[in-house]
Amino acid sequence: MAGYEDELDSERGYVTGLYTRLDGERARARQKYAAALRGDGALVERDAEVRALAKEIQRLDVADDGLCFGRLDADSGERLYIGRIGIFDRDDDFEPLLLDWRAPLARAFYAATAANPEGMRRRRQFHTRGRRVLDFTDEVFGRPQGDEHGGESALLAAVNAPRGEGMRDIVATIQAEQDAVIRHDHPGVLVIEGGPGTGKTVVALHRVAYLLYNQRARIERHGVLVIGPNPAFLNHISRVLPSLGETNVVLMTTGDLVPGLTVTAEDNAEAIAVKGSLRILDVLAAAVADRQRVPEQPMVIELPDVTVQIDPDTAQWAIEEARGSGLPHNHARKVFRETVEWVLTERAVSRIGRGWLSRSDKGAWEELRADVLEDLADSAQYMAALDELWPFLTPQTLLAELYESPERLRAAGADEALWRADGAAWTVSDVPLLDELVDLLGRDSAADAAAAKEREAETDYAEGVLESMVAHEDLMDDEDVLLATDLLHGEELADRFSERDNRELAERAAADRDWTYRHVVVDEAQELSEMDWRVLMRRCPSKSFTVVGDLAQRRSPAGARSWAEMLERYVPGRWVYRSLTVNYRTPAEIMAVAAAVLAEFAPEVAPPESVRSTGVPPWRRQVTADELASAIDEFLREESGRDGTCVVIGPPDVPGAVSPSDVKGLEFDAVLLVEPERIFADGSRGAAELYVALTRATQRLGVLHCGPLPAALAGLSEPSALREVAS
């Protein structure tokens, strides 16, 4: 034991030295930052230096917690310490004192095994709190020597620890199977499939950190998009990448992909399936075409000097010309209008000039034509006719009016399942349709021009403000100096003062429908429809994706039944598949119950193998309807005395319960599942939801039921009292 304590003291001293160097690096960076703010030289160069130093300070601050988490001892005798960032000895030719976990030399820390030690003799993992090393665990590859010490593995310590708020990074406990996926260098789409608890989400997030480390110049300026199933899940994972020093990441659900849209309703299964299929593209195109009308009778336009008509033939010709332009609907309105106006002015000039104006007199003819065009532009009657025959449309207006009108739905060849009384009560399934319509309709160019003009005026004003601030820098306090020197261009200062652009990259990207990302992570990807994938592919022209999912957990009727079915049309031959097979979350006792449910609805899928057993069997208890609420309260009281988290999962009418879909991707120390038969009864979707609910617990699972249980749960033990089993 004395040998272990001596070794522990030695490691504590080394890690303390690393923190001393970290503090020194941070102090140097802050000094450089302050000097850059007040320095001379070209403004653009100063701007770049200030921003680079700010990022460096952020990187050093992130590393403060859990700076060093392990050591590798090579057969050669070399020792390599592994941590969140790299630290080098400035006095010894920048020799590495601490390796960044993403560096190639650090790979063996995660990948070395007894069967393939990769030239390593020992892996040591530290257990730390703050800046202090509490203890360490050794894993020896080969026969242990006298100075080598064992103990509980860092992995088991991590997975057995009570859950807190938010997902934790696994940088200290990445396993070889996970590391191989994280470091996979495929440039296209990487599909990571794994059952519950295999860590596929956190592996995908660590892969983002790895890609940013190795391809920062390519990725960082445009950022990374992470798509999750619901806001609770995004909140759960939101701390992982910042804890790894990466912040240029946008977290969204598919319902957020159209900026400014608020989802307020839910579709039924039939509508979800219809909207999610690519066949809806024909419906949208037909709905747009249906708004490009030929009048049944000529439309009379009374001008000051003549009356003209837009007859059906003229409108039909103008429609053909506009459609033939290939422009989006709103942009093609200009072609439609110009065609109609050519016909109307020709006829008007002929009538006005009958008997005195010859076509050979081109000057007079064109002058009179210009007068008629001006009269048309001033005519409310003519503008109303244009709006009726070829209206400006927004995606929201078109789709809402389509949903509310059985006649328009029939004209577009749409399924009657799309009808609803409130067309603007948007659902998640509407988002890809609205996004598609942005391209079909185009934007109102007049509105774009007005916005650009306003932006130009803001920039001119901001440049004047900036010049004044820089000229009087000696009279300003530190905060004003930072503002004046950190924002070195009028456009950037306009961004700072503009409600629209006063944001970091993640905020600007989230608000811009046309923003494109360099990499996209899609979690719970089995739920995405064909139309959802069209939206995401537009957001990432390079088609660089990490796709995370489990086909066995699919609940959406429009979701994926195979990865090839969803991806091959977009990235033929450019996607690869990797699977994770080890369950780090769910103990074997609970996974056995979940596996029985899986066998009923997806017998071809092998459940992941649990890495641990807790010795605590899941239980069931049958109660009457009157006893249900008190039984739930009893569970909550029991869990309130323990560390960690708990949740009640059940049908919507169960007090205090959340639905299985609300906890997708989340984990809790204890789960109480209420009335599982009512969840299971909803066909294949219900079976998948029950499977999800059963696999959220990391320690304890209980089941309360009033009616019968699904057959797969019949083997659960029934304790005489909840308190007896919980203890």
Spatial separation of the C-alpha atoms in residues 605 and 147, rounded to whole Å = 45
Residue 197 labelled as part of a binding site: yes
Closest CA to 259 of 515, 510, 591: 510
CA distances from 244 to 205, 210, 215, 285, 592 (A): 10, 10, 16, 45, 34
Spatial contact of 507 and 495, defined as CB atoms under 8 Å apart: no
Residue 113 labelled as part of a binding site: no
Residue 618 labelled as part of a binding site: no
The H or E element spanning position 76 is none
Spatial contact of 37 and 477, defined as CB atoms under 8 Å apart: no
Q: How many C-beta atoms surround the C-beta of residue 35 within 10 A? A: 12
Q: How many C-beta atoms surround the C-beta of residue 274 within 10 A? A: 20
Spatial contact of 106 and 87, defined as CB atoms under 8 Å apart: no
* Parallel/antiparallel/unpaired status of strands 307-310 and 519-522: unpaired
- Per-residue HEC secondary structure of 444-485 comes to CHHHHHHHHHHHHHHHHHHHHHHHHHHHCHHHCCHHHHHHHH
Residue 194 labelled as part of a binding site: yes
Which residues are 703's β-sheet partners?
A: 620, 673
Residue 199 labelled as part of a binding site: yes
- Helix/strand/coil for 215: coil
Q: What residue type is assigned to position 504 of the chain?
A: E
Contacts of 693 (CB under 8 A, 6+ apart): 649, 660, 663, 671, 673, 676, 679
Spatial separation of the C-alpha atoms in residues 624 and 492, rounded to whole Å = 65
The H or E element spanning position 657 is none
Residue 245 labelled as part of a binding site: no
Residue 166 labelled as part of a binding site: no
Residue 255 labelled as part of a binding site: no
Query: At which residue do the structure tokens 């049944």 appear?
Result: 296
Tokens of 257: 């992909």
Tokens of 243: 């804890």
- Binding site for ATP, by residue number, is 194-201
Binding site as annotated, residues: 194-201
